Amino acid sequence: MSVESILKNAFRPGYFPVLTTKIWTRIVEVRLHHDRVRAKTWCHENAVDVTTFTTIKDPNLWKESLEYASVLGSEAEIKLRHLDVELGGGGFVELVYFLTRLLRPTIIVETGVAAGFTTQVILEALSRNGSGYLYSSDFPYFRLRDPEKYIGVLVDDSLKSRWELLTRGDRENLKNITEHIDHIDIFHYDSDKSYRGRAIALDIVKNYLKPGSVLIMDDIDDNLYFRDFVYHLKCKYYVFPCKQKYVGLAFI
């Protein structure tokens, strides 16, 4: 925008508030784009092959994880085909299943359920482990009629005895959850992808992540939160490519 254009419009009612908003919006957009570029670069430079990581830990369990993820994918396609809404796909379900089976957690907390891909694999893994409980935080799709009926639609009824679902948003849900537990073995974060959203959630649960706890965070290339988190805590971490995005794994 030229100086001449600004002067020409200077006395129009409401012009400067609108101009200020546009300038601020542009500054924020530029900053967010810059952060995404830096985050994606950091992820690319630190990425490791998930197959190498998992086969070193337990190759047979990784094979089981891949097989179950394939079965779930086929079943989910059939179930979701009959819905009249688009609920999106799952995250890195193979990795989440693998870690749940490998680490045998007693308490898992996840944010962001949607159709329930990750919820289903966690509950299936806990069932095969024979122990453990899952707390899930989500918020209904406000654009849908009767939206709560779609949350976790993929979750088998036979697995729900190990599951509690809260649907009032992460702030309220996580505070509610932490009032009833003393630790979190695995925290899977897949809700508000903004830096601020991640920071708010982790601030609520940070005192429940004990030595040995694990954080799994989806889409870490959206901003630098995961990088800053692991650098601040100086914890061991891994970055895995997943469907043209990146997933972060941190050992507290």
**42 burial type by CB count under 10 A (0-12 exposed, 13-18 middle, 19+ buried):** middle
pLDDT tens digit sequence for 110-137: 999 989 999 999 999 999 999 999 999 9
Give the CA angle between residues 241, 247, 251 to the nearest 5°: 125
**Furthest-apart CA pair in the chain: how many Å?**
73
Contact 183, 107 (CB under 8 A): yes
pLDDT at position 7 over 50: no
Cα–Cα distance, 96 to 90 (Å, whole number): 11
Question: Is the pLDDT at 1 greater than 70, yes or no?
Answer: no
Express each pLDDT in 80-101 by its tens digit: 887 766 666 678 999 999 999 9
Contact 189, 163 (CB under 8 A): no
Question: Among 9-13, 90-94, 138-142, where is mean pLDDT lowest?
Answer: 9-13
Nearest to 80 by CA among 24, 120, 42: 120
Residue 21 confidence (pLDDT): 43
Question: What is the number of alpha carbons within 13 Å of residue 66 lying toward its C-beta?
Answer: 10
**Both tokens of residue 76?**
């989910």
Q: What is the pLDDT of residue 108?
A: 98
Mean residue pLDDT of the chain comes to 88
What's the CA gap between 99 and 158, in Å, rounded? 22
Q: Bigger pLDDT: 6 or 188?
A: 188
pLDDT band at 146 (very low <50, low <70, confident <90, very high): low
- The β-bridge relationship of strands 163-166 and 133-137 is parallel
First to last CA, the chain: 49
Q: Amino acid identity of 189?
A: Y
Instruction: Summarize the confidence of residues 6-28 as an average pLDDT.
Output: 49
The pairing of beta strand 245-251 with beta strand 236-242: antiparallel
pLDDT at position 82 is: 74
pLDDT score of 18: 43
pLDDT tens across 41-80, in order? 999 999 999 999 999 999 999 999 999 999 999 998 888 8
Report pLDDT for 200: 97
Helix/strand/coil for 247: strand
- Cβ neighbours of residue 32 closer than 8 Å, sequence gap 6 or more: 223
Contacts of 94 (CB under 8 A, 6+ apart): 50, 62, 65, 66, 69
CATH of 47-251 among 3.40.50.720, 1.25.40.10, 3.40.50.150, 3.30.465.10: 3.40.50.150
pLDDT in tens, 221-238: 999 999 999 999 999 999
Angle between the 117-129 and 59-81 helix axes, to the nearest 10 degrees? 130
Q: pLDDT category, 22, cuts 50, 70, 90? A: very low
Q: Report which of residues 192 and 29 the model is more confident about.
A: 192
User: DSSP alpha helices (H): ranges in 47-152?
Assistant: 50-57, 59-81, 93-103, 117-129
Unique residue bearing structure tokens 């992540």 = 209
Using left for φ > 0, alpha for ψ between -120 and 50, and beta otherwise, residue 100 falls in alpha
Confidence of residue 16 (pLDDT cuts 50, 70, 90): very low
Q: Please tell me which residue, 35 or 5, carries the higher pLDDT value.
A: 35
| Residue 176: per-residue pLDDT | 98
> Residue 150 has what pLDDT?
74
Q: Are 64 and 101 in contact (CB under 8 A)?
A: yes
Residue 52 identity: T
Domain layout of the chain by residue ranges: 47-251
